[in-house]
Amino acid sequence: MPESSINPWSSTPSLDVEKTFAEFGIDPIAPILSELPEIPYFMRRGIVVGQRDYLPIARAIRNRTPFYLLTGFMPSGHPHLGHLMLMKEIVWHVQQGATGYVTIADREAYAVRGLSWEKCREYGKEYLSCLYALGFEGKTYFQSKNNRLKDLAFEAATKVNFSELNAIYGFSPETALAHADSVITQVADILYPQVEGEPAPTLVPVGIDQDPHIRLTRGIANKFRMFIVEERDGYISVRSKNAPDSALDAIKKAFPYAKKYEGHIDIRGAGCDDVSAKVREIERVCGGYAFYTPSSTYHIFLPGLTGGKMSSSIPESLISFFEPEAVVRKKVMSGLTGGRMTLEEQRRLGGEPNKCTLYLLNMFHMVTDDAELAEIHRKCCSGEITCGQCKRETADRVVAFLKDFKEKMDVAAERIEV
């Protein structure tokens, strides 16, 4: 039986966010926000809500120390508004000092969705032009073209067996080997910045459906470590997992007051951060990767205009970046609202913005000014505005946004060579 109720490849939406977080040990992001020098609107508005180990990332932002951001897109169709949130999270973190990496998961699209390499390339380039249009600066690659990544995936594959894959993803004897390969490629993606560069905290912003990959990768990152460093009562314990003796000796040498025992060293009079840094350095010299366990954030999904998930498999649910104006207007005008059955009821009871796909579209992307958004919320709840008018205003915003964005994408497309 799969231990997980999250399946990265299903199109069923609306997981109960809080319940899922509690079940899988994802923490809320709110308590950490005060660590950030500036809180972006998507965290303020509760769109990016969950995290694992975001504290080291927030501190790296505040202290201007190095960290990476890596995330990816599966090029299984044209990019659409449902992808925009993640792209903004990427760009914001890079502006906050992250070294950014974006992977185009063409191996996954080929293995799991059956797309041709040609289609993967075409869609992948579209994703990249969206990112550049938003101002992304950083590294990008297609999985299938990155040999170092594929070697890393192979090494990582020595740390997983089929019963684990079965437990995490519900894989069965019928699952294609390439599907498993795409999973381990994603693991390698997440560790890749620390292999191409020096080890450093790495943030992986994702939607909650990707959490199984995060859990798997965090486990594998730890399995790669030679040592476990732990703060104990009054001292730091450094335990060897599979470190060569020479590495243990080097640690003893680096800390004069250290006591060396069989397979572990106890260090007094040094801080945990200093010991951890030194241990990583020695691990690297001895041929290890010394990975930081990757951190993650989780955003809720922009609902599709038809209610459920905004998904390429339901054309009416989404607005792509290539949609002609008339189609955009038509889709917005037929979007599912939180309005009442009759105009009279709407005036009397007001609408329900939090159940309205168009309100959420405004909250996610179309209304950046908090006061303006609050005013829409108020007018909706008090019944002062009708859905018809509100939808027309939303359509105008979307059309204006797309016009500007499309121009930027066209400029960006010229930068992309694949």
Contact 200, 194 (CB under 8 A): yes
Indicate the residue among 277 and 333 with the shorter CB distance to ligand SF4: 333
Are 159 and 220 within 8 A, CB to CB? Answer: yes
Tokens found for residue 303: 């609902």
Q: Which residue number places its CB atom closest to ligand TRP?
A: 72
Query: Could you tell me which of 110, 139, 138, 137 has the C-alpha nearest to residue 123?
Result: 110
Determine which residue in the list 210, 297, 320, 362 makes contact with ligand TRP, applying CB under 6 A.
210
* Per-residue mark of binding to ligand SF4, 355-394 (x: CB under 6 A): -x-xx--------------------x----x-x--xx---
The yes or no reply on residue 54 touching ligand SF4 (CB under 6 A) is: no
Q: How far is the CB of 328 from ligand SF4 (least distance, A)?
A: 16
CA distances from 350 to 103, 303, 346, 359 (A): 44, 21, 5, 14
Radius of gyration for the alpha carbons in the chain, expressed in angstroms and rounded: 24
Q: Between residues 190 and 390, which has the closer beta carbon with respect to ligand TRP? A: 190
φ, ψ of residue 194 to 5 degrees: the values are -75, -10
User: Which position among 89, 185, 338, 402 is part of the footprint of ligand SF4 (CB under 6 A)?
Assistant: 338
Our CB check for ligand TRP shows the closer of 148 and 241 to be: 148
Window 99 to 158, contacts with ligand TRP (CB under 6 A): 103, 105, 108
Cα 41 to the center of its chain, rounded Å: 17
Interface mask toward ligand TRP for 29-58; x: CB under 6 A? ------------------------------
- In the sheet with 48-52, reading across from the earlier edge strand, the strands are 27-28, 48-52, 295-299, 202-207, 68-73, 99-104, 139-142
Binding residue for ligand SF4, selected from 53, 353, 364, 409, defined by CB under 6 A: 353
Which of these segments, 11-19, 165-173, 264-272, 349-357, binds ligand SF4 (CB under 6 A)? 349-357
Nearest to 153 by CA among 179, 186, 177, 178: 186
Q: Is 194 in the site for ligand TRP (CB under 6 A)?
A: no
With contacts defined by CB under 6 A, how many residues of the chain interact with ligand TRP? 15
Question: 296 — phi, psi (to 5°)?
Answer: -145, 155
User: What DSSP string describes 61-73?
Assistant: HHHT---EEEEEE
- For residue 383, the partner it binds in ligand SF4, ligand TRP, none, with Cβ less than 5 to 8 A by kind, is none
Binding site for ligand TRP (CB under 6 A): 8, 70-74, 103, 105, 108, 186, 189-190, 204, 206, 210
